[in-house]
Structure 1
């Protein structure tokens, strides 16, 4: 597949890195330094130029492209790039936008602007932040098979009852699979005798009910039902998170420093209590009983402010914090100093777009630990190596470091075991280390 990517920032670079091995990738950016960096770091053709310009797209041979991904930080540039590409090619076009009003227009108009698929960064980030609420120790959560399957990445805390136990001892669930373990920078596919240690990052795949129960086993006593949520900041992502929580029947509290913005948000968010104040004011936090909250979501305008707000919330006794992180390199730092989960909007966007370029077109894709592995949902076709065979028999035909985590069949959850026969039409959720992704996507 020939893929043209407009924009070599974090999103575009992440997508290019995921696709360069098995696809013909062209990346276009106006920044000469970014172009040079990609030329030497990835197996791609990097072109300096304006991706919304027809002449630049023709230099990238857009007429031969199968897929165009417009992923700059400017919504209008991305939309124009897609529209321009449509004048010269039949490529499938993907536009990344931040503002939800463009997404609303595109959805209502049945695919406006010459865009075949639109991804909204703000909405995806808000959805990711809201999903981790209520799962103690969870750093990332994704849902598959229309919500019937959940993948969660947990960090095993010090003192956890699960630490020191083998997988066989910890696994008393009928609908849960311990898919992988991240330890000392390596991916480990555990078996029953593998011992779980404090500091390990566990990737589990199962039904939402069993996943939530395991979260309680991992970090008991935290009582994180996620019903009392305080959102710090009035950014667009914060607003989307508040709306999602309102849709769940919750009544979050939102703190915004600017009086005009606070007044505007109070009018927009009927189910949210909007408070005008500085969220880094410890006296205010204590006076408004923010310490009684189950979760604080930090969605201010900078990484530094989000870190400060998260640490202050932890200091006054909030059991869990979720912070927005714009700089991907800070994600591990935030979690290392005590932030419960650090969410990078660009990573969530790249994850959504990468699904479209996989061989076999998985139904859904989740990136694990900053592109070290992926979890894919794949509908089983006649030519799948799994079709009509027990998992134990077909495992030899799959690459190493691959785990079948869950199966759904006719809307029902099926726990994968060695003697489980996979049927055509099943939806299989698979964990795979990054080097095995393309083989899995094309064979399963």
Structure 2
């Protein structure tokens, strides 16, 4: 596939790095320093120029493009890039936007702006926060097979009942597969005798009920978030409150700016909006914020979100979720005590990448900054898995692969060694990113 990416920010870089091994990739950006850096760090073609200019796109060989991805930090620029590309070719166009209103306009008039698919960063982030907040100790959560199967990555506290037990001892669930453990800088594909340690992050794949049961087992905090406090009425904070409202919650939202507080209060009928500074200890005590199950920091800077998260933890909040725009801060945030750090640009890159995969790849979830992925693949008749028992078929796959679940005609099948994969099955697979392209080709 020939892919043109306009915008070499974090989203563009992440997509380019993910695609460089299997596709012809061209990245266009206005910044000469960024273009030069990418030239030496990735095996791609880079062009300095304006992606809204057809001459620049032609220099990138637009006529050869199968896919054009516009992912600059400006919504209007991305729409114009897609429109320009669509006017000259039949390439599939993807636009990244931040404003939900622009997404809703596009949804009501499919094909508007010359955009074939639109990704809304703030809405994706809000939905990720909601999924994570619903499971205690979860670090990452995603769904597959139209919600039939769920993947979750859990922090395992030292006090957890499954710490210091083997996977075989911990596995008491009817429809759950232990896929992998992230331990410091190491990734371990689990076996029955693999010991789970406090501080590990365990990736499990299974039915929603089994994932919920597992969450209850590993958790050292209340079962689910009922009292939700969102700090900051940024667009992400606002969309997060809407997402909780849509699922029957009545969150509280703290916003310092009186005009913005009034605006979101009118738009969020089931959210209690409080005008105050969230770093005011007297206010937090008066409003019993310390009794919240989760505090979500959605302010306009990473540093403010870190401060609010640490303050929330200090006053007794069970769980903290912080938005980060700088990916290098993710490990720092979680090291100093923030339970979950969510990067909006990573969420966007993940959503876009699935469009670059083969026609059989249905869903993609990236883990630990793309060290591994969980993917849903519709199995064709030529797959190495078809007609064979999994224990035998997986011998032909590279190391670092776990078949986590199978969806067959709407039914969830928990794979075992004797399970035989059939054509048209949807298999959910944990894959080490280093062997991803080989695995997709084989499956």
Flag whether TM exceeds 0.5 (same fold).
yes
**Is the Cα contact below 8 Å between 2:360 and 2:378 reproduced in 1?**
no
Stretches of structure 2 that go unaligned for 5 or more consecutive residues are none
What SS does structure 2 have at the residue aligned with 1:179? strand
Query: CA separation in 2, counterparts of 1:320 and 1:437?
Result: 33
Q: How does 1:39-188 map to 2 (within 5 A)?
A: 39-188=39-188
What SS does structure 1 have at the residue aligned with 2:353? helix
Query: CA separation in 1, counterparts of 2:236 and 2:256?
Result: 16
What SS does structure 2 have at the residue aligned with 1:21? coil
**Is the Cα contact below 8 Å between 2:360 and 2:379 reproduced in 1?**
no
**Range with greater deviation from structure 2 (178-187 or 324-333):** 178-187
RMSD across aligned positions (CA): 1.0
Instruction: Compute the displacement of 1:389 (Å).
Output: 2.1
Instruction: Compute the displacement of 1:346 (Å).
Output: 0.1
Q: How does 1:309-320 map to 2 (within 5 A)?
A: 309-320=308-319
Task: Quote the residue 1:302 is aligned against.
Answer: 301
TM-score, normalization: structure 2?
0.98
Query: CA separation in 2, counterparts of 1:386 and 1:103?
Result: 39
Q: How does 1:263-302 map to 2 (within 5 A)?
A: 263-302=262-301
What SS does structure 1 have at the residue aligned with 2:105? helix
**Is the Cα contact below 8 Å between 2:362 and 2:376 reproduced in 1?**
yes
What SS does structure 2 have at the residue aligned with 1:113? helix
**Is the Cα contact below 8 Å between 1:224 and 1:294 reproduced in 2?**
no
- Provide, for residues 38-84 of structure 1, a one-character-per-residue CA deviation record: whole Å limited to 9, x for no partner: 00000000100001110000000010011111010000111100110
Query: CA separation in 2, counterparts of 1:350 and 1:89?
Result: 24
What SS does structure 1 have at the residue aligned with 2:162? coil
Query: CA separation in 1, counterparts of 2:287 and 2:223?
Result: 19
Task: Quote the residue 2:395 is aligned against.
Answer: 396
What SS does structure 1 have at the residue aligned with 2:114? coil
Query: CA separation in 2, counterparts of 1:440 and 1:239?
Result: 40
Instruction: Compute the displacement of 1:359 (Å).
Output: 2.8
Task: Quote the residue 1:208 is aligned against.
Answer: 208
Task: Quote the residue 2:366 is aligned against.
Answer: 367
Task: Quote the residue 1:436 is aligned against.
Answer: 435
Task: Quote the residue 1:418 is aligned against.
Answer: 417
Task: Quote the residue 1:347 is aligned against.
Answer: 346
Task: Quote the residue 1:18 is aligned against.
Answer: 18
Instruction: Compute the displacement of 1:293 (Å).
Output: 1.1
Task: Quote the residue 1:9 is aligned against.
Answer: 9
Question: How many residues of Structure 1 are paired with residues of Structure 2 in the alignment?
Answer: 443
What SS does structure 1 have at the residue aligned with 2:250? coil
**Is the Cα contact below 8 Å between 2:136 and 2:224 reproduced in 1?**
no
**Is the Cα contact below 8 Å between 1:401 and 1:432 reproduced in 2?**
yes
- Provide, for residues 384-443 of structure 1, a one-character-per-residue CA deviation record: whole Å limited to 9, x for no partner: 222222211211222211001111122221101011111222211100001111122222
Query: CA separation in 2, counterparts of 1:408 and 1:317?
Result: 41
Query: CA separation in 2, counterparts of 1:82 and 1:441?
Result: 28
Instruction: Compute the displacement of 1:136 (Å).
Output: 2.1
**Could you say if the C-alpha distance between residues 79 and 258 of structure 1 is closer, same or farther in structure 2, counting changes exceeding 3 Å?**
same
What SS does structure 2 have at the residue aligned with 1:363? strand
Query: CA separation in 1, counterparts of 2:309 and 2:365?
Result: 25
Query: CA separation in 1, counterparts of 2:7 and 2:114?
Result: 18
**Is the Cα contact below 8 Å between 2:390 and 2:417 reproduced in 1?**
yes
Stretches of structure 1 that go unaligned for 5 or more consecutive residues are none
- Provide, for residues 244-271 of structure 1, a one-character-per-residue CA deviation record: whole Å limited to 9, x for no partner: 1111111000000011111111100011
Instruction: Compute the displacement of 1:140 (Å).
Output: 1.0
Q: How does 1:368-383 map to 2 (within 5 A)?
A: 368-383=367-382
**Is the Cα contact below 8 Å between 1:367 and 1:374 reproduced in 2?**
yes
- Provide, for residues 257-315 of structure 1, a one-character-per-residue CA deviation record: whole Å limited to 9, x for no partner: 01111111110001111111001111111100111211111101110111111111111
Instruction: Compute the displacement of 1:216 (Å).
Output: 1.7
Query: CA separation in 2, counterparts of 1:160 and 1:230?
Result: 26
**Is the Cα contact below 8 Å between 1:164 and 1:195 reproduced in 2?**
yes
